[in-house]
Structure 1
Amino acid sequence: MVERQINGVGCFDRNSLIKNVSGIYLFMKRAMDIAISLSAVVLLSPVLFIIGALVGLRSQGLVLNIEEKYGFGGRRFQAYEFKSIVNNPIIRKLPLLFNVLKGDMSLIGPLPIPAEDLRPNPWYQLRMSAKPGITGLWQITERAGAMEEMVRVDLKYIRERNLQNDFKILLKSIYLLLGGKKRNLLP
């Protein structure tokens, strides 16, 4: 792989990041995304319905915020979240499971890039060499703040992605969802 520096952040050539991924990995990851998301939607459908009804009673118009985001290969898509009157960010993001089922997103991956934040930046192009995720390596670590650090962590995930790492990130995300403490998983 060809490594280069962009404003002090080590990056890899997009083509080498894409070549690093096998078709079997992509197939298995998509199968995992569909199985887990569909199961979650079925199990949580009463909760989704109740939250949707409550949001509808408390606000005008649509129950969901629909935000333009950029994902894999620079493809634009509409991300769904409950309106911001839902205080819990995890509950607010439950409708993103439908984005996973549609194929816009994955359960695990770098954060999607909001349309208003997209700028001609090599980092964004590299981050878009993987499908964005509801959760990812960045979200489960104690890292905070600097965009450069988020990009570094996202590129680390993209460079080293495999089913074992995805499964670890998913388990850690569930652990945190149930009240566990964050700890730094990066060297």
Structure 2
Amino acid sequence: MQGLSSVYQLPEAANHAPPARLEKPWYECGPIVKIFGQGVIYQRIKRSIDVAVCLAAMPVILPILLLCCLAIRIDSPGPIFFFQLRTGRGGKRFKMYKLRTMVKNAEELKEQFIHLNLLSYPDFKIVNDPRITRVGRFLRKTSLDELPQIFNVMSGDMTLVGPRPTSFHASTYSLWHTARLTLRPGLTGLWQVNGRNELDFDERVRLDIAYLRNQCLWLDLLIMFRTIGTVFTGRGAN
């Protein structure tokens, strides 16, 4: 059994990370589960589950996506989809798909509200962001704006469960932040079921590294089920 522990090595940067501040670390898997949960077999099974779930969900997601597109078109001028470069595994940049939830000149207006930012750089969040459209507010609260990312999962740029990809470059990361770059970014992750956008970036990375230390199929399933509850309650959405 000792030989199996060498199958998966935590990145050195993870050793510099402070622990995630959770009173009850429900995400901790046992040592045997972790050994078998982080190797090549786990990664192959995880990828197979990604593809299978996406294909099975397509008949449900596509009609909902169409209705969302119509609502965006009626509600405000501008493109329906929003494409943004995000940082993925190994620091590689990729194009992530979302439904547009803001006015089309949102980036230009951002400078006007920078003094209201509640989070530390490079994160940005303000209360009742006026750039968000009426339909966009609903899409964000229900996470429906994330639906197009199913195509990112199908292409292999993302996975169902993993750290959320950041919009800023890996060059802005502190050393211990870089540990999250060893994982494929996900639709949902540990921090999304423990506060979502209420957490600052450092705390999100702590939870990402906690996932890195404990990742296994059982934890992935727990996160997916908890995500459903989080989406329905809208807790932590902005």
Deviation at 1:27, TM superposition (A): 0.7
State the secondary structure of the residue aligned to 1:4: helix
Matching of residues 1-187 of structure 1 within 5 Å: 4-5=15-16, 9=18, 21-84=38-101, 85=133, 86-87=136-137, 88-89=139-140, 90-115=143-168, 118-142=171-195, 144-179=198-233
State the secondary structure of the residue aligned to 2:233: coil
Question: Residue 17 of structure 1 corresponds to which residue in structure 2?
Answer: none
Deviation at 1:58, TM superposition (A): 3.7
Deviation at 1:106, TM superposition (A): 0.8
Question: Residue 15 of structure 1 corresponds to which residue in structure 2?
Answer: none
Say if 1:108 and 1:170, in contact at 8 Å, map to a contact too: yes
RMSD: 2.6
Which structure's relative contact order is higher, taking Cα pairs within 8 Å and 6+ residues apart?
2
TM-score, structure 2 length as denominator? 0.64
Richer in strand (by share):
1
Deviation at 1:116, TM superposition (A): 5.4
Larger deviation, residues 25-34 vs 35-44 = 35-44
Cα distance in 2 between the residues matched to 1:10 and 1:82: 34
Deviation at 1:159, TM superposition (A): 1.3
Larger CA Rg, structure 1 vs 2: 2
Change (3 A) 1:75 1:134: same
Change (3 A) 1:147 1:179: closer
Say if 1:118 and 1:124, in contact at 8 Å, map to a contact too: no
Q: Deviations over 1:96-121 (max 9, x none)?
A: 11111111111111111213575152
State the secondary structure of the residue aligned to 2:208: helix
Question: Residue 16 of structure 1 corresponds to which residue in structure 2?
Answer: none
Cα distance in 2 between the residues matched to 1:79 and 1:38: 19
Say if 2:170 and 2:178, in contact at 8 Å, map to a contact too: no
Unaligned segments of structure 1, at least 5 residues? 12-19, 183-187
Percent of residue pairs bearing the same amino acid type? 30
Say if 2:162 and 2:186, in contact at 8 Å, map to a contact too: yes
Cα distance in 1 between the residues matched to 2:73 and 2:201: 35
State the aligned residue count: 172
State the secondary structure of the residue aligned to 2:83: strand
Change (3 A) 1:73 1:57: same
